Amino acid sequence: MDGYTQGDATGETDRLSDNCDLGDLVPWLGLLTDFQPTILVLAGEPSGDIHAAKVVAELRVRNPSARFLGMGGPNMKAQGVELFAELGTLAVMGFSEVVPRMLYFLRLRRKVVALIHSESPDLVILVDYPGFNLPIAKAAHERGCAVLYYIAPKVWAWNERRARTLATVADAVAAILPFEVDLLKEHGVNVEYVGHPLLDRATSIPSRDESFRAWGLDPERPLLGILPGSRIQEVERHLTPFVESARVVVDRRPGVQVLISQAPGLDDSYFRDLEFSVVRETPALLRWSDCVLTKSGTSSLETALEGTPLVVAHRVSWLSGVLARLLLRTRYIGLPNLVAHQQIVPEVLQGEVSPEVIAPLLLELIDESSSVRIGQIQNLDRMTRLLGQGGASSRVAEMAMTLLGRHS
């Protein structure tokens, strides 16, 4: 975060103002009125849609006349982005799950490249989704567009060659994990650590009493939160063993209440006839649960940042699992463990995702007197401090405006 700390304000600004114009200090200031850029924003997952929308909102403050095109979801759409592809057709997971839809993605890629040639956007902002976005970065770079990659490909996990690709096709990369920066710089990537966007998570969450009243629950009894995933494939693989694990917890400790999170965009049919209630207020559920069972991914870090004890459990197809074991170079898959560089939350993978394995872990973590629970909460607090401060969306917008200033 050193690159974003403020200097001495007791005289430095005065000395600078004597020697240069304000436009020199803020190179994009003149763009607010003189430049009407076209910005292409590409996000292929629900979390990317959220993060991209926040950046668009920041950019609209800086340049209200900017035009935004893109692919994404409801959050980007709400910010006025002209979408030509929406998330319902994009979100897939795992190696084997992508293969049946390869033709669709090839056609979509050609569509995006054609749009880059026809619209000649001044800036292309790519949000995560590297299998699709890296080839687009190359096409945009060759067209002469400025390219900003937000949420870098996970080269620390596998396929380090992507770092070399980034160095040649991206004008700037905004990293969200502190340990990514040195690795990317080793490959010549122009990278800045902007902080993790989840540090800017919602603050206007109803109180525990208000939330429990809305859910029809007793705030004096413990709550187990279940997050099976935000994609159809994730829900199909996780919901049944997660519900079965919750049932064992309730059988062994009858006072425990259970709520299941239904992510935006998922059809109600996946959550019918369940023995536990389903809610859509995921931020409140993560904050007020006494323990959470979640699939791997963004939700695990979001839970950890709330300081809520959790178990990470994840299943993919057999083929995807085999390929992952061959290609992955990390000891952990859970983001809290990756950030902490040690296992601070339990990880249950593939065939181990069962009530027999998961339920005992949950029972230990939901017990307020458990030393395991207390120890995990302390570790989660230390992990959160490693991520630094919030403000990622604002910093990405500043990087974008700098690139636009060079491109105009």
Res 325: pLDDT:
67
pLDDT digit string, tens, across residues 371-407: 999 999 999 999 999 998 899 999 999 999 999 998 7
Give percent of the chain with pLDDT exceeding 90. 70
Q: Confirm whether 2-195+391-407 and 208-386 share one CATH topology.
A: yes
Domain boundary assignment for the chain: 2-195+391-407, 208-386
Phi-psi region of 159 (alpha: psi -120 to 50; beta: other; left: phi over 0): left
Q: pLDDT over 70 for what percent of the chain?
A: 84
- Residues 233-258, mean pLDDT to the nearest whole number: 97
pLDDT greater at residue 364 or residue 406: 364
For position 324, what pLDDT does the model report?
A: 63
Top-level class of domain 2-195+391-407: alpha beta
279's CB contacts (< 8 A; 6+ apart) are 215, 259, 260, 261, 262, 285
Q: Above 80 in pLDDT, residue 20? A: no
Kindly report, residue by residue over 309-333, the tens digit of the pLDDT.
999 999 987 776 666 665 566 788 8
252 pLDDT above the threshold of 80: yes
Where does 208-386 sit in CATH, by number? 3.40.50.2000
Residue 326: the pLDDT is: 59
Q: How confident is the model at residue 46 (pLDDT cuts 50, 70, 90)?
A: confident
Report CA torsion sign: 379, 327, 190, 77: negative
pLDDT at 107 over 80: yes
